[in-house]
Amino acid sequence: MRKTGLMMVLAGVLAGILLAGLAGGARAEERQILRCRVLAHDFMAELTRTIQDAIHDGGPAGAVAVCRRAVPELEARYSLPPGIEVKLTALQCWDPHNLPDGWEKKGLENFLERRQQGAILAGLEYSEPVVLEGKRAFRYLRALPTGSLCLKCHGERLAPKVKKALRRYYFGSGGSGCRLAELRGGISITLYP
């Protein structure tokens, strides 16, 4: 009798430790998601401001050259703190550097599936703890819907001047052909604890 009682107490303690561990893991993941949300928000706010200023100064065609510089510059700056990597990506890209890796492709396809099931893209997230080259990491992808500003360069019908400016740097139609409120791409963040 006493033995069974002791076993039950032990089992209870073990279950408690396990649950606390799981809850701790869930809390750590929530914190990582919150951190990624802030980074994604700041990055996109800064990129959008840069694009708006550039369009104000030189029209959408002039802003193409600004975006070409601003995207890699922002990626490099947001990836400066140790343990953080930030990147813009899409299933179709102008810049081949932005093409998705296997995990990002899965995430972008997941956004398309959820969109097909009626979800609104703004705010959709895909995240997962992973192991990268033997190191624990946390990966996060946030959907970037095509807004009216984005259409000027990523839309289906581009002004001839914008097309010409894009042709100066990129082959093919890559990042254009998107429709309003449909998926343009995603912002991808990797955190190394």
Query: Under the rule (CB under 6 A), what is the footprint of ligand HEC?
Result: 48, 51, 60, 63-64, 67-68, 71-72, 88, 90, 93-95, 98, 144, 147, 149-150, 152-154, 174-175, 184-185
* Of 72 and 129, CB closest to ligand HEC: 72
Give 29 or 95: the residue with its C-beta nearer to ligand HEC: 95
**Choice between 30 and 57, CB closer to ligand HEC:** 57
183 near 121, Cβ under 8 Å?
yes
Residue 127, φ and ψ in degrees, nearest 5: -150, 160
CB 122 to ligand HEC: min, Å:
11
Closer residue to ligand HEC in complex, CB, 129/147 = 147
> For the residues of 21-52, what is the DSSP string, one character each?
HHHHHHHHHHHHHHHHHHHHHHHHHHHHHHHH
d(CA 43, CA 48): 9
Which is closer to ligand HEC, CB of 108 or CB of 191?
Answer: 108
| Closest distance to ligand HEC from the beta carbon of 55 (Å) | 6
Q: Which lies closer to ligand HEC via its Cβ, residue 68 or residue 114?
A: 68
Least distance (Å) between residue 149 CB and ligand HEC: 5
Sheet holding 135-145, edge to edge: 84-89, 183-191, 135-145, 125-132
**Least Å from the CB of residue 93 to ligand HEC:** 4
The stretches of 79-159 forming alpha helices (DSSP H) are: 102-116, 148-154
* Contact status, residue 88 vs residue 98, Cβ threshold 8 Å: yes
Minimum distance from CB of 170 to ligand HEC (Å)?
A: 7
Q: 152 CB contacts (<8 Å, ≥6 apart)? A: 55, 60, 63, 158, 159, 162
CB 78 within 8 A of CB 70: no
Q: Closest separation between CB of residue 98 and ligand HEC, Å?
A: 4
